[in-house]
Structure 1
Amino acid sequence: MKIARIPAVGAELPIGKILCIGRNYVGHIKELGNETPAAPVIFMKPATSVIGDGDEIVIPPYSANCHHEAELALLIGTGGKDIPVDKALSHLAGYGVAIDLTLRDVQDELKKKGLPWEIAKGFDTACPLSDFVPASTVADPQQLQIRLTVNGTLRQDGSTSLMIHSVAQIISHISSIFTLEPGDIILTGTPAGVGPLVPGDRVCAEISEVGSLTVTVT
């Protein structure tokens, strides 16, 4: 069983659903040549895809193009259905750092055929995830800087202020489709700058006021 931890308050929650938002930053939409969606694009990762700080990414043999996507992660502390936007942040237990690993070549082929993305997004080790900080310690989740380096070279440098759909809007929208439960995790999308990883790479993602996460590629 995979566990989400908030060390500052000694809290632990078994990880439930991992609900991910795609195409939530204009810059990332443009760099992949996608259309801007009218509503949040939602996909899922299994809890078995989670690895922690210091762990290793294993790129599956069926892909030759694995990309990094640094993201703000949300940990649900209080469940709910049809959560109003103005109440959404009160359902959070914490904020964390995530890397949404994507097998871009596999995803592109699936998209061409109109098929789901899960084998490109949910493979083992596809969701590096940090511990969480208490939600109460983050003054404004829409004013956080997201940075990712590969072998010390800056690849991604963006702000959550650039989100198309805010954290509160994402929680509200997702809860209109899926009942949210304690331990569920939401990944909120990635800013521009995504790129390929190869064996031997050291990947570091950090979000201001939240924390950092370092993993390597085997």
Structure 2
Amino acid sequence: MMRGRVAYAGAIHEAYPHQIGVRLADGRVCKENEVVWLSPIEPGTIFALGLNYAEHAKELQFSKQEEPLVFLKGPGSVLGHRGVTRRPDDVTFMHYECELAVVIGKPAKNVMRNEAMQYVAGYMIANDYAIRDYLENYYRPNLRVKNRDGGTVLGPWFVDASDIDDVNQLELRTYVNGTLHQRGNTRDLVIDLPILIEYLSSFMTLAPGDIILTGTPDGIVNVRANDEVVCEIDGLGRLVNVIGSDAAFNRE
């Protein structure tokens, strides 16, 4: 089942896909642009994987890592479908990162990889923006790169794990202003989901609502103010986002 969360008429509603937009839990039907989209779930800890597709690592001239490159993200970085992400006017290179987001469904501690998928509740699309100007280096993304307000777009739907036949065969696509720039498949993950869950749960307890962002394929390009960025993953929907200038955020 696909389900999301939206704000409408002064309240937050659970929402479901409908042919003209969304159907609220109370039965009302709205157009997609008549609601404010929120993250489909209230996020817990967000774990983000860097350079987890071989071609993307090659694109950034980064050699193979010996263990997962993981960093944490704060809740203020999360934005919903159709939201606006700020691009500071003084930066030279800001890019999208279309990623499979994995949602943990029950407490996980010392999980073995052959049991790891039992702890997955479902999946979402993520678009985790990065500003290349602010990177200290590719193996240690710093706070300004990966914890910017509204820089991690999630949605539009949370999809139950049982509704995805094979999470290791999902195609990812990113379009900028209607042009396809990024294409990849989860079968090309350097470190797959069971290994990631085993690794993380070996030293900390994963909790329901925790999210693992699994990395992005190659094909990143610079985005600018007013660009529309669309990320698609098979079976998970279509995540739309717009880039805003400093002026749009009253930062002039």
Report SS of the residue matched to 1:124.
Answer: coil
Aligned to 2:11: none
What letter corresponds to residue 218 of structure 2 in structure 1?
A
Aligned to 1:64: 92
Assess if the C-alpha contact under 8 Å between 1:55 and 1:216 holds in 2.
yes
Aligned to 2:37: none
Assess if the C-alpha contact under 8 Å between 2:102 and 2:211 holds in 1.
yes
What letter corresponds to residue 213 of structure 2 in structure 1?
L
Task: State the 1:182 CA deviation.
Answer: 0.7
Aligned to 2:116: 88
Task: State the 1:14 CA deviation.
Answer: 2.6
Aligned to 1:16: 44
User: Is residue 202 from structure 1 mapped to residue 228 from structure 2 by the alignment?
Assistant: yes
Q: In the alignment, which of 218, 232, 236 is matched to residue 192 of structure 1? A: 218
Assess if the C-alpha contact under 8 Å between 2:99 and 2:172 holds in 1.
yes
* Number of residue-to-residue matches in the alignment: 210
Aligned to 1:136: 162
The 1:74/1:115 distance shift into structure 2, 3 A limit, reads closer
User: Is residue 43 from structure 1 mapped to residue 67 from structure 2 by the alignment?
Assistant: no
Aligned to 2:107: 79
What letter corresponds to residue 112 of structure 2 in structure 1?
P
Q: Which has the higher contact order (CA 8 A, sep 6+)?
A: 1
Moved over 6 A (4+): none
Segment of structure 1 superposing worse, 170-179 or 51-60 = 170-179
What letter corresponds to residue 47 of structure 2 in structure 1?
L
What letter corresponds to residue 23 of structure 1 in structure 2?
L
The runs of 5 or more residues in structure 2 that have no matched partner are 6-13, 17-24, 26-39, 245-252
Aligned to 2:195: 169
What letter corresponds to residue 211 of structure 2 in structure 1?
I
Aligned to 1:125: 150
The runs of 5 or more residues in structure 1 that have no matched partner are none
**Cα distance in 1, alignment partners of residues 46 and 52 from structure 2:** 16
Assess if the C-alpha contact under 8 Å between 1:7 and 1:133 holds in 2.
no
What letter corresponds to residue 193 of structure 1 in structure 2?
G
Q: CA RMSD in A?
A: 1.9
The 1:201/1:164 distance shift into structure 2, 3 A limit, reads same
**Cα distance in 1, alignment partners of residues 140 and 123 from structure 2:** 31
What letter corresponds to residue 148 of structure 2 in structure 1?
F
Task: State the 1:87 CA deviation.
Answer: 1.1
Segment of structure 1 superposing worse, 53-62 or 202-211 = 53-62
**Cα distance in 1, alignment partners of residues 195 and 90 from structure 2:** 36
- CA deviations 1:95-146 (Å, max 9, x no partner) are 1100111111111xx128x865121111001100102100111111110000
Aligned to 2:131: 103
The 1:142/1:59 distance shift into structure 2, 3 A limit, reads same
Report SS of the residue matched to 1:198.
Answer: coil
Task: State the 1:196 CA deviation.
Answer: 1.2
- CA deviations 1:58-110 (Å, max 9, x no partner) are 12456332111100000111121121111111111111100111111111xx1
What letter corresponds to residue 146 of structure 2 in structure 1?
K
Larger Rg: 2
Report SS of the residue matched to 1:195.
Answer: coil
In the superposition, the TM-score normalised over structure 1's length comes to 0.90
Assess if the C-alpha contact under 8 Å between 1:82 and 1:172 holds in 2.
yes
Q: In the alignment, which of 205, 218, 222 is matched to residue 179 of structure 1? A: 205
Report SS of the residue matched to 1:99.
Answer: strand
Q: In the alignment, which of 29, 50, 54 is matched to residue 26 of structure 1? A: 54
What letter corresponds to residue 50 of structure 1 in structure 2?
V
What letter corresponds to residue 153 of structure 2 in structure 1?
P
**Cα distance in 1, alignment partners of residues 192 and 44 from structure 2:** 22
**Cα distance in 2, alignment partners of residues 182 and 79 from structure 1:** 6
- CA deviations 1:135-168 (Å, max 9, x no partner) are 1111111100000000011111110011111111
Assess if the C-alpha contact under 8 Å between 1:44 and 1:118 holds in 2.
no
Assess if the C-alpha contact under 8 Å between 2:103 and 2:121 holds in 1.
yes
